[in-house]
Amino acid sequence: MGTTLSGDPAGHYRELSHWLSTLDEPLIPRPALPGDADADVAIVGAGYTGLWTAYHLARAEPTLRIIVLEKEIAGYGASGRNGGWCSALFPTSLTGLARRHGRDAAIAMQRALHETVREVGRVVAAEAIDCDWADGGTVTLARTGPQLARARAAVDEARAFGFGAEHLALLDTGEAAARCAAEGVRGGTYTPHCAAVHPAKLVRGLARVVERLGVTIHERTPVAAIRAGAAATAAGTVRAPVVVRATEGYTPTLPGQRRAVAPVYSLMVATEPLPAETWARIGLAQRETFSDHRHVIIYGQRTADGRLAFGGRGAPYHFGSRVSPGYDREPRVFAALRRTLGELFPVLGQDVPVTHTWGGPLGVARDWAASVGFDRASGLAWAGGYVGDGVGSSNLAGRTLADLIRGERTELTALPWVNHRSRRWEPEPLRWLAVNTALRLMTRADATELRTNRPSRQAKTLSRLLGN
């Protein structure tokens, strides 16, 4: 889903991200919906969530008639632009899940996310999806005293829920630097539950797989409205007893959904391929994904072709939950990301060129809680609100939706995010004030901690503001 591009669509699609630009395939849209159609399941959105749902439904019941509708092309949205972390991360902490749903439910959710990383790797291998998969785990660095305290707190929380060092390990200075030799590293954490991927290769490969399974994908087919029993487009209506909304950051563009999630932009840069001697100084020898324990999230990976792909939040939220291709590019944020790269890895200096810059929206629910659900009475299903952690959790969502739609009661359908209903975001201008104030607080907190090496007060204010 997204704003329709004009002119040469294949060329424009390649410009959306480094990942899409390096695909060895034409990005010619599949045929649009030719008119009214009937299906057993209609899925709106051909990103990870929609395609994983189609995949698992088709695998479980090959006779189902499944139609996927996409406004642009498969992988146009976050699925083709993200940081390439197939992780077990979840936007709600274990403590937060336990507070809402109980300790056992929180542990079950985390275990399901751990298993999901292995499950995606299994499907990638079984279906021969060439997506530069690398099981390197994630190293999250601590470069200040407050960051080190948060690293220790993360490990303490994991231990309190029964997860040992094999799931999340506390690293000392030498151990952290051996994995990622960033400037000023004091320690960090490491989890094996993450793989680096080429996200566009994954989503495009998945689209081809579901087509082989008999699923129909109609691209360049904007959905104007979703209602019980139907997904309506200008070309015609797909009638189906089950309709799945899988639109993530583009959800507010649908009627009645403007306050369902806030579309928050995350931006990325990629360097040219770096020489072996530079990588010897940086590390990431196992293609670990990396971050640090600051408040404003940063994330990076060593790509299969030797680039450093690096991203972060920091772009403003736009009034009225507006989504536009013009918001994908914020020169100020790109410049800040490049400066941060130089601070983390002085070997890059300011001389190593950035060859690609891009971005796009992700979905944030009001309580920062991702959810998946199915209302059997109306036939309407949904999944999303991943807050940027959707590469892995979208697979868990797709498997869960497949079980829910088929009426199966499984361990997945008992997970605490199933049928969770986040409250709606406040109307404007309160929504604009809340999201952008939170961003400013996080930015100031990081600057204060870097300057003083002491905890900041802004983080407490932020927690109260978001009510998380």
User: For residue 468, what pLDDT band results from cuts at 50, 70 and 90?
Assistant: very low
pLDDT digits (tens, 9 = 90+) for 96-126: 999 999 999 999 999 999 999 999 999 999 9
pLDDT digits (tens, 9 = 90+) for 285-332: 999 999 999 988 899 999 999 999 999 987 888 999 999 999 999 999
Q: Provide mean pLDDT across the span 252-267.
A: 94
List phi, psi (to 5°) of 300: -155, 165
Q: What is the pLDDT of residue 227?
A: 97
Q: What is the pLDDT of residue 213?
A: 98
Instruction: Give the C-alpha separation, 435 to 50, whole Å.
Output: 27
CATH T-level fold of 10-82+199-260+367-414? FAD/NAD(P)-binding domain (3.50.50)
Q: What is the pLDDT of residue 8?
A: 52
Q: Assess whether pLDDT exceeds 80 at residue 5.
A: no
Bridge pairing between strands 41-44 and 66-69: parallel
Per-domain residue ranges of the chain = 10-82+199-260+367-414, 429-467
Q: Provide mean pLDDT across the span 445-449.
A: 79
